[in-house]
Every structure is written in structure tokens, then in C-alpha cells.
Amino acid sequence: MIATNSSTEGGAPPDPVRGVDAAPDELRAEIAIPTGAGAPRAARTVIGLCLAGLVAPAVLDDAELLASELVTNSLEHGGLGDGALVRLRVYLAPETLRLEIENAGTAGVVTTRRAAEPAAHGGYGLELVDLLAASWGVNRNHNTNVWFEMARA
């Protein structure tokens, strides 16, 4: 299911992912991605379709990478059951973009501080977020929402 900030009044229906040009600080897209091995790729695809031509190419690459890392973290650490969904939201403002990845899990600790493990083949997703995003954070209530913001240029 994809929701955008678009309206179909007065013209042809917009593309279901791209919607219409977003107003400042508006939600560009929201999608519920089923858990599974294809979820990180689905997040990258939605971001690519939604932001291509609207942000610098390097920013788009970084946004796709960070979102796929956070979706992977949701799958690996969220304690989600079969049939669960990971929600991706893309916001665009004149100077920044914001992505949110939300899941129903509330277990575990979200942190970038970890001991170096040279033999590890993964586990550095949040370190990448910390390195590449201008800011990021975690909101927890009845779910876990990890967000990051980046400059568009």
C-alpha cells in the first residue's frame, strides 16, 4: 500500500509512488513493506522512484543505502513476526529530506556504540547512518521509528 500527498482533482492521476511535487516539509510517499528478504530492496526502489531528480545523485545513493540498512535492522532486531510490515516514509523540504523507518517492535537497544569486531560481516548499519546523515534519532512508543535527515544537495 502506497500513500502520497497527491491529489487527483483537476488532472490525470499521479504516479502512485512519485505523487505530485511535494510542498515544503511534506510527505512525499509512505509505503508499508512486508517483512522478508526483499524488503530492503523494496525500500531502495521506492526511494529511487520518489527522489530521482529531486536530490543530488550522491544524496540519493546515500539515502537508499541508509534506508536499506534501517529496514534490515528492523528485520533482524525488531522481533517482528510473520506477516509484519515495515513502514517507510519519505519527506522532502526545500533544503533537506527526511526518511523514517517504523516497525511494531520495541525490543532491543538502538545505538551506534559497539566494540570493534574485525571478523564481523555486518552490524554497522547505524554507524553508517551516524556517519552519512546530518541528524538521526529514534522515537519509541508502541513501535520503533528510526529517522534520519540529509541535505538535498
| CATH H-level, domain 25-107+123-151: superfamily | Histidine kinase-like ATPase, C-terminal domain (3.30.565.10)
pLDDT in tens, the chain (153 residues): 333 333 333 333 333 343 444 444 788 999 999 999 999 999 999 999 999 999 999 999 999 999 999 999 888 888 887 789 999 999 999 999 999 999 998 776 666 556 556 665 566 788 899 999 999 999 988 899 999 999 998
27 φ, ψ to 5°?
A: -70, 120
C-alpha cell at 90: 519519505
Cβ atoms within 10 Å of 98's Cβ, excluding its own: 21
**How big is the CA angle at 147 (ends 153 and 126), to the nearest 5 degrees?**
90
Those residues with Cβ within 8 angstroms of residue 115's Cβ, 6 or more apart along the chain or in another chain: none
19: left (phi over 0), alpha (psi -120 to 50) or beta: left
Closest listed residue to residue 75, CA positions, set 125, 40, 120, 123 = 40
Cα of first residue to Cα of last residue in the chain, in angstroms, is 29
Closest listed residue to residue 103, CA positions, set 76, 121, 134 = 76
Task: Parse the chain into domains and list their residue ranges.
Answer: 25-107+123-151
pTM higher than 0.75: yes
